[in-house]
Structure 1
Amino acid sequence: MYRDDGTPVSEDEHPVTRVLETKEPDYGFEHWIDLPSGTERWLSSNSAPVLSEDGDVEYIVVGFEDTTQLKEREDKLTSDKRRGLGLSSKQLFRPLLDVADGDMRIEVDEVVRLQDGSVLKYITGRGISAKELIDVFDQLYGVKNTRLLQSGAGECRVEVHVEAPTMSLVFAELGGQVKSLFQTNGAAGPLLTAEVPGDVEPRTAVQAAQKVYPDIRLESQELQYSPRLLYDIVEDVLTERQFTSLRTAYYAGYFEKPRKSTGDELAERLGITRQTFNQHLRLAEETVLEQLFDASGKAAR
């Protein structure tokens, strides 16, 4: 038996020993053990005495809970490193610079890969009109079609249906994501910002991006902590189609009031029937709530 820091649990520190000495229960003792296979398992134990009429300990009841999965999630929350990258490309930025007037930012909220290999991008534009943003994508980025979701107060949201390859897919295949497709950066010029896992070398990301835009250059990088615990848990427990339906519904404004997209529109986008879309969405919602209120709640208690 070992503690979190790797030191062995001594006989005096063993919960059974303490219960024998104090005649009091010992709850929530966390430790890990080595299995014959060479793997580690984390356990949480509860030990409680059963006393005789004279007050002596007759025996001790011990219960164990395997907390390995929970421990791994906790470790990911505190140690998940992400590498932030700032990239430049005249080829990528040229059509956007033609419409830029002052500060402008085009954020990639989410990317959903469809079964036919094409991609749905959910984009938020700031400092650019909805018409200008749609025109740029429709005319210059090989987009299949674009749909306006929301516009007003200096901000617009669009859904863009595009064929691969795209910068968003390049980074998705590296385990990362494009955060902003374009953001003004003063005299230094505009940047595309992206995140990749901390163990992905910047050179690897740049070389992959250059297959889409050969003149891509790395301007900055920063290693940072970026916990995504609940997102990772949900992604693990949902099927791919449930997760795709849920992400598409959320970023297409299906849950907003008034709705920005109907169930029929999203089902058509995903190439499934409305009934199948509803089923995927209902099961996804149920699973997310189970993780939030059942699994996570029990773990917290």
Structure 2
Amino acid sequence: MDDVDTDHGGSVGDATAAAHALEHVVDPVVAVADGTITYANEAARDAFELGDADREAATALGASWDRLAAAIDETTVGTARRVDFEGDRESARLHRGASGATITFDRGDAGFDADTDSAADSRSGASDRIVKDRALKEAPVGVTISDPDREDNPLVYINEAYEEITGYGYDEVVGRNCRFLQGEDSDETAIAEMAAAIDEERPVTVELKNYRKDGTEFWNEVTIAPVRDGDGRVTNYVGFQNDITARKEAELALERRTEELEYILDRVEGLIHDVTAVVAGSTDRSQLENEVCARIAAEDAYDGVWIGERNPATGMIDSRSSAGDGPDDESVATDADHPAAEALATTEPAVDTVDGRTRAAFPLSYNGIEYGVVTIRTDRAIDDRETVILSALARAIASGVNARETSRMLATDAVVAVELTVTDRALAPVTLSADADCQLEYRRSVHRTDDETASLFTVTGASADEIAAVADELADVDCRIVVERDEECLVELTGGIDLVGWLSERGARTKTIETEAGRARITLEIPRSANVRSVVEAVEDRYDGTDVVSFQQRERNGETRQEFAARLEEALTDRQLGALQRAYLGGYFEWPRPTTGEELAQSMGVSRPTFHEHLRTAEAKLCRAFFGDA
């Protein structure tokens, strides 16, 4: 090959050298823009029988164009792909640019038998050379040509796209081996693969990190192919460069995120399992909190953890339990610039990083009741995915604390009696008392298997029909008349807003509800150890028109079973107690009955009506004692 003129600026010598090199490429090469062939080398002109007027790609390339056009649309600008064909033409390599695409067909495929020996005899005219020169210069990918006959196989031509990709000018590149773009982070395996391909005179495509003139890194997809003359001797190497930085960084970022997620899931899976076991197995709140902190601190990724609770009297968040690196201080102000304070204020996770140390706080809240905050310390970042997982862990902890506090409500005698008034018409008893001009008094609730709570109320001042008529107007409320008497009736209310069940889930026991003229007076009992303020605030948030009347600490009536039996026995006459005992021991309450009332009456030496009178009176006294009536 003749020496080329290395003067920069798109000289005739540059273009001639580049065009000369591509004319000797044995594989058909075409450049296409908007469905028009803007350049075709000699092999392509011969293979597709192209003339000066044959520039429509659909006409020139025939059936293969449909597949190529679809592939161009599917290929991201700045990247390349291999296109496989059906039938004889097996494959081509497509490089996509902003304004078009360059397509190199595999010469080994049937149907592309270019007669390179006749290349010199079929040169196009001056106008065709201009088109070829412009195609090389304006190709959408970086194009280089090197001369292996010179020492170190230097570059003899680069196009404008190459200059834009690398930042190097023509005079700074020509005469140098292409390895000058490589640096300390370039993949040695990819470099070795390119060197081996050149030694073996075969094409190769690799992806490796290169460096621009200003030192910035970019990912380069490099394709190098040998250019042969009519005798099959390699005269040049042509190279195509695509800046694939955006795609490569996206791929690497996806790989990193996948690895991080797998790491988090593998690590946190055991943590969640162990914490769940602690929540299920602990007997009280303190044990639960201590064991949870110990398990979280045992995780290598975390340096320490602590659980704190708001102290309304001091305005501080006091530490209840800790492990590893504990809290910054024994207590944190509720208005401090601290994640624990922010998490309690917003009821959302809060994360900050100071001097490379991360603090992540998660509110412990269940059914709207605040049970404190858990704060984790680590020397690494906690991302959004880990925050979601730790938030779920905090909810599990709060659920466990709620269960312990609810069970404590059943066992403790030390309670705080809270008296409230509520005027929210969302409560069915409030609306019934206002619209039916009556009084309702809460008697008892029954939790059914479908999680619905049925509450019994005695109603005075209105008939059963009047109550039923008002209840029919209430959405989602079912009112059933249980007993109707002259002066009062007993009704069962279900559906609507369930106050009693909702309070029970939050560790509060409903003692009394008395409603009159659209106002309910409610008495609750909450364990002294519970967060009384949080429960009351939850009621205030849920029900409009809630006012706190009083707080009172007191001891529940701690009557034992023996004391209850003794009190009931004292209330019964001998005849009533005898009738009750004989009925129970004689199987009178079983079905079918093994004995009759007549037989039991005879055993007591009384008439049957007298026996039934004693039995019913005893049953009434037993029910009053059990259900707490005076």
| TM-score where L is the length of structure 1 | 0.41
Asked which structure has the greater RCO (Cα within 8 Å, sep 6+), the reply is: 1
Structure 1 or 2, whichever has the larger Rg, is: 2
| TM-score where L is the length of structure 2 | 0.21
